[in-house]
Amino acid sequence: MASQVDWGREAGRFLKEINVNDLQEQLDSLRDYLRDLTGSFSKIANRQWRSTRDRALDTAQETEEIMKDNLAISLVVALGLGILIGYLARR
């Protein structure tokens, strides 16, 4: 029983030491920090997304231009892939 009494006194002393205003200020500070952090993360993610999208579009355009410039080779490759896939599908 003595340990429970000691624990109760310690808890009471701890609760008295807590300043509600300090706690509120810390929570406000934490909230502001998290808001700034998520805003920064969002900006970085958007920048990366735009960069990746632009690279993908550039690559697709380059591929399309290469295919147009080498139409005969593109048709032979497409025909070869079609035959290969048809052969593998029958097995």
Q: What is the pLDDT of residue 67?
A: 80
CA 35 – CA 31 distance, rounded (Å): 6
Q: What percent of the chain has pLDDT over 70?
A: 80
Q: What mean pLDDT is reported for the chain?
A: 85
Q: What is the DSSP letter of 70?
A: T
Instruction: Tell which wins on pLDDT, 24 or 7.
Output: 24
Give pLDDT tens digits for 40-70. 999 999 999 999 999 999 999 998 898 888 8
Q: What is the DSSP letter of 52?
A: H
**In this model, does residue 2 exceed pLDDT 60?**
no
Band (12; pLDDT cuts 50, 70, 90): low
